Structure 1
Amino acid sequence: MTGLVAAMRPQARKTPDPRAVLLAEWRALLDSRPTPPRARDAAETLGVSEGALAEARRLSGEATALRDPGGPMGLVALLGALAPLGPLLALTRNGACVHEKTGVYAAPTPHGSMAQTLGEIDLRLTPAQWVAAYALVEGSADRPRRSLQVFDAHGEAVHKIHATEATDLAAFEALVDAWADPLAPPHAFTPRPPSRPDAPDAAIDCEGLMSAWARLEHSHAFAGLLDRFGVGRAQALRLAEGRFARRLRPEAVEAALCAASRRGVALMVFVGNRGAVQIHSGPVRRVEPMGPWVNVLDPGFNLHLRADRLAGVWLVRKPSIRGEIHGIEAFDGDGALIVQLFGARAPGQPAPPGWRVLVEEVAGEMAC
């Protein structure tokens, strides 16, 4: 009788795994499209982060969680294991620009709370933002696409590493086996909190900021200068307008790329997010606008820029002990940095005069 009563009691319903629900939604989306959407676009359509979608794909075997080895560099240490794989495609992006470089990774070196890789793949990294990593196998069974993808705490992609035709796939798979963490609990990505607004202009010591700017000795000290005065980057350029910054039309970025291509002026092209900044140093040759996109389509380097998302473009002048450094900096409507262009130069050397001439001509034509 006791067993019968127990059997008649309502059974507690199992809460479905949200990853399984998301995976089903992902598959339904794929079935509804003639061309599979990119994971970032699909995640946006489904109302989740790209990291959450990668986590859900662990259930189908498409994604494998990778272990965090700990230590000051955390998941950034993964880059130190990549050299035996041969050439890889490094991808770093933000909401308006994608930067792709092909080459062999060098081991990262720490610099306080930061790290960097030099050589063919040139990166500046913030290890604290490298929170979760996955190995993914996408595409078809006869043409699989293999990648390693790293996300921040909010599921936004920090850095991606794609196998190429020249990659040693056996070494790639051995690396995944060595770093796999199949028992890792599901990672719960959290929504990104709203960005903190800039302080009111009246609260900024503008004269102190300008005075310290004029005394800069190295361009990499600029970020510390902004922190010291509690000023946002785009805000600082606006406050420095007429002294160290000149406002340009959004078309200035495309104009500078096209002029560099025509004249053979080598550039440094920086694109980043909160966890990684990726740098191309060298020529840009094939510049092709396509709809809202401005593209650089060169062997070993691709850039894809959403020109329609450029809300603020500036010519910026920074003093240094080796002469002034001139660059073009572009921002989105929220004041987030999208892309920076500088003249390519050897470490410790000024930019070649061709860049200075080019950027001044572009600024003259594209001034607001």
Structure 2
Amino acid sequence: MLNTHTTESSHLLNQLLALKENEPTIRARRAAERLGVSEGELLASQVGQGVVRLEGDFKEMIKGFEAFGEVMALTRNASAVHEVHGRYEDISFDGQAGLVLNPMIDLRLFMWSWHHGFAVEVPFRNGVRKSLQFFDIDGTAVHKVYLTKKSDEAAWDSFVQEHTAADQTPHLEAKTKKAKDPETPDAEIDREAFETTWRELQDTHDFFGMLREFGVTRTQAMRLAPEGYARKVSNESAVTVLEKAREQELPIMVFVGSKGCIQIYSGQVNKLVRTGEWFNVLDPAFNLHLKDGDIAQAWVVTKPTVDGDVTALEVFDKDGEVIALFFGARKPGIPEIGAWRELAHAL
């Protein structure tokens, strides 16, 4: 007798097949939205049909990615997709936070949001596309790894065999995440102490700690910033920055994050293409897909560091969630590129 989960998943799978018959190129996230489920639930319904559920310590799994050689890493949120080609190298963890520090695959990992993992094989351009896909407790994707023609498929096969879960039921129990706490009223923030702390920052990484210390959201921090440290700019500024960086051959950094991973690209951008509601960077080693119509706020932000001020363009959606962050390319110990600062301040 089929259990309820199997029946539900079978029904969901049939709905997906019917949808793909009408729209063969529909993306997984879009298909999930159309069917009223999370992307993780939709993928889990395909377990046994080219999808394998994984189990084990996700931190140890990530260390195992190094064996694959060159792959494509993908991290996204609702309004931006960030794809880079490179290797998983220099991987380290401090508790539930981790780093991958290859020049191309540059990640900040937050393992408390990694709850489900799957190995996926789907037909693709006269062959099979293999990937590993990881999801939050609510079924939202946190990070994906795709094999390329340069990847070691034998290492991938061995990895999947090692981490295949005993339970291959085609179902994922997506749990609702705790709602965000309401924003603390501006009047309750110690404005003077907040401004002083901001002016005395020593590192861009200290910014998040400052937000937590004062209990402010990121967009609230923009409003409460010391004079001259945050300036609201046009919502078109992200596209302007990409276009100007291309024109000036200016190396930039592009940050896009999910709840479980922030993925960073450092370098030049060259091929820029508008496709419907998406503005794209389509370079050989880096792709960015930006749904720029979702940008509801954009700010040029200055953060003091021991190497001098660092300038960023930060763009947010209507809920105050970060869509993407843009910086001039730089390394610790090196001052910010003057041309980037000029570009940002001219927005």
Quickly name the TM-score band, shorter chain normalised: over 0.9
Name the aligned partner's letter for residue 81 of structure 2: V
Provide the residue aligned with 2:10 in structure 1.
20
Q: Is the 8 A contact 1:91 1:98 kept in 2?
A: yes
Matches within 5 A, 1:115-154: 115-119=98-102, 120-139=104-123, 142-154=126-138
Residue by residue over 1:303-322, the C-alpha shift from the partner in whole angstroms, topping out at 9 and shown as x without a partner, is 00001000000000011111
Percent of aligned positions that are identical? 37
Residue by residue over 1:40-88, the C-alpha shift from the partner in whole angstroms, topping out at 9 and shown as x without a partner, is 1111111000011111111x4221011123xxxxx13212112222210
Distance change >3 Å, CA 274–CA 13, structure 1 → 2: closer
Once the 2 structures are TM-superposed, how far is the Cα of residue 104 of structure 1 from its aligned partner? 1.1
Which range is displaced more, 247-256 or 177-186?
Answer: 177-186
Structure whose residues are more often strand by fraction: 2
Name the aligned partner's letter for residue 271 of structure 1: V
Which range is displaced more, 351-360 or 262-271?
Answer: 351-360
Q: Is the 8 A contact 2:52 2:168 kept in 1?
A: no
Once the 2 structures are TM-superposed, how far is the Cα of residue 347 of structure 1 from its aligned partner? 2.3
Matches within 5 A, 1:188-267: 188-240=173-225, 242-267=227-252
Which range is displaced more, 146-155 or 60-69?
Answer: 60-69
Provide the residue aligned with 1:110 in structure 2.
93
Verify: 1:42 aligned to 2:31, yes or no.
Answer: yes
Distance change >3 Å, CA 240–CA 46, structure 1 → 2: same
Name the aligned partner's letter for residue 8 of structure 2: P
Question: Could you list the runs of 5+ residues in structure 1 that have no partner in the other structure?
Answer: 1-11, 70-74, 364-368
After superposition, the CA RMSD in angstroms is: 1.8
Verify: 1:165 aligned to 2:149, yes or no.
Answer: yes
Residue by residue over 1:88-130, the C-alpha shift from the partner in whole angstroms, topping out at 9 and shown as x without a partner, is 0000000100000001111520134310100131000001111
Question: Could you list the runs of 5+ residues in structure 2 that have no partner in the other structure?
Answer: none
Once the 2 structures are TM-superposed, how far is the Cα of residue 291 of structure 1 from its aligned partner? 2.6
SS in 1 for 2:42: helix
Distance change >3 Å, CA 244–CA 45, structure 1 → 2: same
SS in 1 for 2:254: strand
Looking at structure 2, the residues matched to 312 and 13 of structure 1 have their Cα atoms a distance apart, in angstroms, of: 49
Provide the residue aligned with 1:348 in structure 2.
333
Looking at structure 2, the residues matched to 174 and 339 of structure 1 have their Cα atoms a distance apart, in angstroms, of: 35
Matches within 5 A, 1:282-361: 282-361=267-346
- Normalised to the residue count of structure 1, the TM-score between the two structures is 0.89
Number of aligned residues: 344
Provide the residue aligned with 1:4 in structure 2.
none
Residue by residue over 1:224-262, the C-alpha shift from the partner in whole angstroms, topping out at 9 and shown as x without a partner, is 000000000011102227431000001111111111111
Q: Is the 8 A contact 2:246 2:270 kept in 1?
A: yes
